[in-house]
Amino acid sequence: MRANIQAAPQPRRRRRRVIVVGLIIAILVFGTGSARFYTDVLWFNEVGFESVLWTSLRAQFLLGLIVSVIVAGLIYGNLVLALKSRPAYAFARLENVTRIDPMERYRDQLMPYVKWIRLLVAVGIGFLAGLSASGGWRTFLLWMNRTEFGTTDPQFQLDVGFYVFELPFLNFALSWLWFSLMVTLVVSIAAYYLLGAIRPEGGLSGVESGALAHISVLLGFLALVKAAQYWLGRYSLNFSERGVVTGASYTDVHAHMPALSLLAIISVISAGLFLVNIRFRRLSLPLAAVSIWIFFSIVAGGAWPFVVQRFSVEPQELQREEPYIERNIRATRQAFGLAEVEVESFEAADSLPADSVQNNQSLLQNVRLWDPPVLQQVYSQLQAIRTYYQFQDVDIDRYEVDGEMRQVLLSARELALDNLQDSTWSNEHLQFTHGFGLVASLANSATPSGLPSFLVRDVPGTVATEAQESFDLEQPRIYYGEAFGSNEYSIVNTQQEEIDFPVGDGVQRSQYDGLGGVPTGSMLTRVAFALRESDPNFVLSSLITPDSQILLYRNVRDRVERAAPFLSLDNDPYPAVADGRLVWIIDAYTSTPFYPYSQRQPLSDIVPAGASGTLSGEANYIRNSVKVVIDAYDGTMDFHVVDEEDPLIRAWRNVFPALFTDETPSDDLRAHFRFPEDMFNVQSQVYRNYHVIEPQNFYAKEDAWEVPDRTEISDEVVATGESGPVPPTYLLIQLPGETEQEFVLTRPFTPRSKKNMIAFMAARSDPEHYGELVTLRFPSQRSVDGPVLVDNRIKQDVEISQALTLLGQQGSRVGFGSLVILPIENSILYVQPLFVTASSGGIPELKRVILVSGEQVVMGESFSEALTELFGVGQPSLGDPPDSGGQGGQGSAELRQIVAEAGRVYQEAQQALAAGDFERYGALIEELGQLLERAEALS
């Protein structure tokens, strides 16, 4: 007994510990959520978009509140009515009855708490419904700020804006009204059962008349809502997938649409029968109404459209569907921006005249030889300098070099926190805070050793003389980029100076003086960030001062997504030097799946595999309406609307006027806007079929196209690491009929299941023609080699095969770069670079360039040499490699000596890297850079 008495407090102490732990967890959970919200508010204030946050939150709250009140009010009101309509004997105490139904005792026990139970049920369901409905805030805001498209659909003659803005919201509202009434009906039936007004054991007679009348009213309102849904469903047929293409087909127009109208009428009649039953209170009327509705739903909604489709349409499908196919073609081309594609005939002659070289000097000196994935490897090994730097991506742009517009590849040298040698809190968040500068090189040029011709290199940055004006940076530090993780943050302006870049045996240090970052002036802010990041160092560290700033959302894509969640983003943010600043440019899209008659496209299947953009789901309308420019130093974001005619962006601008800037982009910035790859991917995929505008030809698919597949060019995939359809290629070329070069995004087409090339599409990027699409259509009477045929021709060439065998000896790996298709005058020149990489993981070197013109296949050690081989003329001058200030003309002997010394230094650097001696590796790479600079000057 004594032992039991002593042991009794143990369970109570355990319960207390459980309660305390539970309270701590609750405080942490709710405290973390509150801290995240509070710090996000601070971040929105920092970037100047607090109105975006509060507008979206107000919309979510208002929408959730409306739905919550409706659902809770309906449930509570009907529960009150059910309680008033309960049978009088339901709670009578049957003390003299020897056998009492257990349910009667249960009802009797619940009676004192009924008022609280109905309130709890109504509020609980209403709260959950409102929470779920708040997710439709975008639909709600677009409806509130709807605009017109100025185009009507061909079936109902309604403005397209009705389908994009109004119809989705009306369907949203009706679906929630249906849900509210259905839940109310279920809860009311349950209440009547618990109150004894519905007794299943009594069969049809077990339903009290009051309960029957009440349920009939709810069923009547449900029928009216269903009638409205049927009526709106007629308009949704404009997105039907029943026919050959998206849109209302013959069967939809002549069978399904009348059926929906009939079902709407039947639903109204059924609602009348339900409501009439308030007076008669019989089960026969509700059962008759339900039976009529089910019968007509099966016959009119299912059987009749099937009969029409099978016996009237399928035997003569083209004749029946032709007008609807024509509607689809017109709508799809308009919705995807293909209505005004300029189609030009292009001869694609078998041979290229010899004088074409002299006539097209500027075009030929901009042929792209370096692939971004290959060049990324080169940059990473030659220009990373330290392990804590990285090159996330290499992008293509155009800059003025030595007075001429040249195609340039460039990449920002960003911070790589994962590669820090010592990952302490101070290192990750106080010292290593930013990347530094960028690397740039000419697209078509290489040194004698096969390495890039750098325009910008090293840290703090050596700029070639002829590129000084284009790459003159006021602020090279990169605090915001595409390599940062979504949760990476830095604290700047602390008592710990930041590491800037290596200098000799030490490092240069600096302090941040930009506008970005959330001030840490108050202890509340520091505590909030400590809770948010689960890191007490925000409070404990004495290095953080009241003047310190916390940099959040440093990944530029995450940053834009948080500021504008209603926009879809391109997968490739790219850096640009404009007005002396290093900025990131992200293309943003508006899209909808509700453009009538336009063919819906699965966007996630069109954008490249593994892409990190936010284009997803289905859409049948898309516009690249916004260019977002993010400053790499202070993180400021400017949302430039570049398509004022897009009704969707006009609506969003009405919602968030403070988000979009009214300032016109500077000429220097506009010069670096380029047509986005994701948009071109979508448009070119749609254009494969929708270049055909005649319904009969479209139906027969006689002229269907496809994009060549890279997987059929295996060596190219090995070199670049990419697979799938041939990606769009940026080129700086002169289009037929034009007098000036321009920056375009291109893609070839082949006939479906064929290898010959049928067309070549180009999207123009220069400001005066931005967004215009041009298609060069090749003759259909003869064959023009496509990428796969050219690749086969190259591999079958005996001399090239022998050269490949020699280059692949001694452990080297040979890989082809991307095949460049170059329209020049009235012919096509194919250019394919060849890279050699040491099997031990060396630097890819550009060793050969292969040219194909007609049946001629030649190879040279450089592009100029290959041209000489192709035309049998003296070596043309295609521009000199960049001059970084060295002295040339020192003779081939000295050049060979420097190249040999560079090879030795490179091998030592690789050994140091393998041994983990990163300090020696960095010093050797720096020495290698100096040698290459000397070699480049001599070449």
Interatomic CA distance for residues 216 and 203, integer angstroms: 18
Biggest CA pair distance of the chain: 123
Interatomic CA distance for residues 813 and 364, integer angstroms: 28
Cα-Cα-Cα-Cα dihedral sign, residues 311, 312, 316, 321: negative
DSSP-assigned states of every residue in 21-82:
HHHHHHHHHHHHHHHHHHHHHHHHHHHT-HHHHHHHHHHHHHHHHHHHHHHHHHHHHHHHHH
Kind and range of the H or E element at 376? helix 372-382
What pLDDT is recorded for position 870? 84
What pLDDT is recorded for position 1? 42
Nearest to 267 by CA among 306, 296, 236: 296
State which amino acid sits at residue 362.
S
pTM of the model: 0.86
Nearest to 253 by CA among 170, 166, 313, 194: 313
What pLDDT is recorded for position 521? 85
Give 577's strand partners. 582
Coil, helix or strand for 388? coil
β-strands 812-816, 759-764 pairing: unpaired
pLDDT tier, 505 (very low <50, low <70, confident <90, very high otherwise): confident
What pLDDT is recorded for position 256? 93
C-beta separation of 673 from 641 below 8 A: no
Interatomic CA distance for residues 925 and 920, integer angstroms: 9
Two tokens, residue 911: 């050994």
Is the omega angle on the peptide bond into residue 608 within 30 degrees of 0, that is, cis? no
Coil, helix or strand for 97? coil
12 pLDDT higher than 90: no
Find the mean pLDDT for residues 883-894.
46
What pLDDT is recorded for position 408? 95
For the range 870-876, what are the long-range contacts, defined as Cβ-Cβ under 8 Å and sequence gap of 24 or more?
A: 870/352, 871/352, 871/354, 871/357, 872/354, 873/354, 873/357, 876/357, 876/358, 876/361, 876/364
Interatomic CA distance for residues 613 and 604, integer angstroms: 10
Two tokens, residue 489: 């943050």
Residue 155 CB contacts under 8 Å (≥ 6 apart), including other chains: 237, 238, 248, 253, 327, 596, 597
DSSP assignment letter at 255: I
17 pLDDT higher than 70: no
pLDDT tier, 201 (very low <50, low <70, confident <90, very high otherwise): low
**Does residue 65 or residue 616 have the better pLDDT?**
65
pLDDT digits (tens, 9 = 90+) for 599-639: 999 887 666 555 555 677 889 999 999 999 999 999 999 99
What pLDDT is recorded for position 8? 45
C-beta separation of 245 from 331 below 8 A: no
C-beta separation of 376 from 390 below 8 A: no
State which amino acid sits at residue 228.
A
Interatomic CA distance for residues 645 and 621, integer angstroms: 13
pLDDT digits (tens, 9 = 90+) for 170-199: 999 999 999 999 999 999 888 888 777 777
DSSP assignment letter at 111: G
C-beta separation of 137 from 56 below 8 A: yes
Taking each helix axis from N to C end, the angle separating 523-533 and 9-47, rounded to the nearest 10 degrees, works out to: 110
- Total H helices, total E strands in the chain: 32, 32
Looking up tokens 């010093």 gives 923
Interatomic CA distance for residues 35 and 28, integer angstroms: 10
DSSP assignment letter at 429: I
C-beta separation of 488 from 497 below 8 A: no
Coil, helix or strand for 440? strand
Coil, helix or strand for 478? strand
**Does residue 617 or residue 888 have the better pLDDT?**
617
Residue 283 CB contacts under 8 Å (≥ 6 apart), including other chains: 204, 207, 212
pLDDT digits (tens, 9 = 90+) for 447-471: 888 899 999 999 888 898 888 999 9
Find the mean pLDDT for residues 519-548.
90
C-beta separation of 735 from 756 below 8 A: no
Give 581's strand partners. 475, 578
What pLDDT is recorded for position 3? 43
What pLDDT is recorded for position 511? 94
Kind and range of the H or E element at 271? helix 257-280
What pLDDT is recorded for position 86? 65
What pLDDT is recorded for position 717? 43
Taking each helix axis from N to C end, the angle separating 284-298 and 257-280, rounded to the nearest 10 degrees, works out to: 170
Two tokens, residue 772: 């215009």
Q: Distance from CA of residue 105 to its chain's centroid? A: 60
- pLDDT above 90 covers a percentage of the chain that reads 55
153 pLDDT higher than 90: yes
Nearest to 220 by CA among 212, 210, 231: 212
DSSP-assigned states of every residue in 755-786:
-B--EEEEEE-SGGGTT-EEEEEPPSSS--B-
pLDDT digits (tens, 9 = 90+) for 700-733: 998 999 999 877 775 544 445 556 788 899 999 9
pLDDT digits (tens, 9 = 90+) for 82-105: 887 666 544 444 444 444 555 566
**Does residue 12 or residue 854 have the better pLDDT?**
854
Which of 525-529, 648-652, 734-738, 878-882 is least confident?
878-882
pLDDT digits (tens, 9 = 90+) for 357-410: 777 888 888 899 999 999 999 999 999 888 899 999 999 999 999 889 999 999
**Does residue 424 or residue 205 have the better pLDDT?**
424
What pLDDT is recorded for position 5? 40
What values do phi and psi take at 150, rounded to 5? 80, 10
C-beta separation of 746 from 735 below 8 A: no
Alpha helices (H) along 631-745: 647-655, 667-670, 677-690, 695-700, 714-720
Find the mean pLDDT for residues 830-848.
87
2 pLDDT higher than 70: no
